[in-house]
């Protein structure tokens, strides 16, 4: 995270420098809509990115799997800015979507880790996320860095539009706090390793979150699937009552993302629903949750930046669960570093 922030923040003017973005202030003000495309983990990072852009720049934004977008003859609109996200920069579904967009005259930026990769070359500009060359097949720190990069981008777009200087300062201070807060979470790995023991028995797990917590739940469930091969499903917390509550029973543990924000009481109500059906709950929260069997307490940041921190203990949970099950974490089955077909 230090690397993605380094040299980009200007505290004096509470702005960020994004060399290579290739989008000046006038162009940024002309953007009416943002569409983010990626696959797997990069798609989930894009979902958080879209929320950050809506919250901080008030530009309508959404994310879609590139693997869907490229097959559905989408409306390509000149006032929409397209952003392609990829760790490897080589994922074929993303590259194909970018090429198609370029053919139709769209402006495409890349948020990519590998410098000079195919998607980085094809895009009109963008941001490198600097997660390092040593990233593994299963994206973890690249996910975190991609979300941080979106934080910088949202801040930049926000400063060309509605974001106040005070909000800009607040977000910059929050971004600066991240490396220390992440180190704090990582220092508590023993606690998570112990917890992982309980999940090795699970046949299936549910991950829930609301608004900012929902993409975190999705990514955490993907991590668990990718490395431990335990079935996991992510749901928006409010959707539970529209069907999935039927699944809750002692053998189906739920992992709940419960940040201390204006949705806290709503999220607690979901925990009560689960507890009433004797479901086991692991909460990731900013303070102990009474209804949870265990709470992993993470440091609080600005509400908008909380998702960056809340996924990290769940990456560790997936890792330790997989290790205890004897899985080969560096070579998970049926997964390649970049999916090029």
Give residues in contact with ligand F1P (CB under 6 A). Answer: 39-42, 86-88, 91, 94, 137-139, 335, 337-339
The helix/strand/coil state of 293 is: coil
| Contact between 227 and 329 (Cβ < 8 Å) | yes
Report the distance separating Cα 314 and Cα 191, nearest Å: 12
Report the distance separating Cα 31 and Cα 162, nearest Å: 13
Q: How far is the CB of 309 from ligand F1P (least distance, A)?
A: 20
Q: How far is the CB of 339 from ligand F1P (least distance, A)?
A: 5
Phi–psi pair at 169, nearest 5 degrees:
-65, -40
Q: Would you say 75 or 341 has its CB closer to ligand F1P?
A: 341
Q: How far is the CB of 53 from ligand F1P (least distance, A)?
A: 19
HEC assignment per residue over 21-63: CCCCHHHHHHCCEEEEEECHHHHHHHHHHHHHHHHHHCCCEEE
Q: Would you say 118 or 252 has its CB closer to ligand F1P?
A: 118
Q: Would you say 57 or 127 has its CB closer to ligand F1P?
A: 127
Bridge partners of 206, per DSSP, are 233, 254
Q: Would you say 4 or 171 has its CB closer to ligand F1P?
A: 4
Q: Which residue is nearest to ligand F1P (CB)?
A: 40
Q: Would residue 337 show up in a list of annotated catalytic residues for this protein? A: yes
Q: How far is the CB of 75 from ligand F1P (least distance, A)?
A: 24
DSSP 79-117: TEEEEEEESSS--HHHHHHHHHHHHTT-EEEEEESSTT-
Q: Which residues are marked as active site?
A: 337
């Amino acid at each position: 995270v230090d690397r993605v922030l380094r040299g980009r923040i200007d505290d004096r003017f509470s702005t960020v420098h994004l060399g290579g973005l290739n989008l000046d202030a006038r162009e940024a003000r002309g953007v009416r809509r943002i569409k983010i495309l990626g696959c797997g983990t990069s798609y989930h990072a894009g979902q958080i990115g879209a929320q950050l852009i809506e919250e901080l720049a008030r530009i309508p934004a959404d994310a879609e799997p590139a693997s869907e977008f490229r097959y559905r003859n989408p409306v390509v609109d000149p006032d929409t800015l397209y952003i392609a996200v990829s760790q490897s920069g080589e994922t074929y579904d993303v590259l194909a979507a970018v090429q198609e967009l370029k053919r139709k005259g769209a402006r495409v930026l890349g948020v990519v880790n590998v410098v000079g990769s195919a998607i980085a070359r094809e895009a009109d500009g963008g941001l490198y996320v600097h997660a390092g060359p040593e990233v593994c097949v299963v994206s973890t720190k690249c996910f975190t860095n991609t979300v941080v990069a979106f934080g910088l981008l949202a801040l930049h777009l926000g400063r060309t539009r509605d974001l106040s200087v005070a909000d800009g300062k607040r977000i910059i201070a929050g971004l600066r706090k991240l490396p220390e807060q992440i180190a704090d979470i990582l220092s508590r790995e023993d606690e998570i390793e112990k917890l992982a023991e309980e999940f090795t028995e699970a046949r299936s797990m549910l991950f829930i979150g609301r608004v900012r917590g929902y993409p975190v739940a999705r990514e955490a469930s993907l991590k668990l699937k990718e490395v431990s091969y335990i079935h996991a499903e992510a749901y928006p917390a409010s959707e539970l009552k529209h069907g999935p509550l039927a699944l809750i029973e002692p053998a189906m543990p739920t992992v709940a993302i419960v940040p201390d924000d204006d949705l806290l009481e709503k999220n607690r109500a979901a925990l009560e629903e689960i507890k009433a059906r004797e479901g086991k709950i692991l909460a990731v929260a900013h303070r102990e949750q009474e209804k949870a069997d265990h709470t992993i307490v993470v440091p609080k940041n600005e509400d908008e930046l909380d998702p960056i921190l809340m996924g990290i203990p769940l990456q560790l949970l997936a890792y330790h669960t997989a290790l205890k099950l004897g899985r080969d974490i560096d070579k998970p089955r049926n997964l390649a570093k970049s999916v090029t077909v």
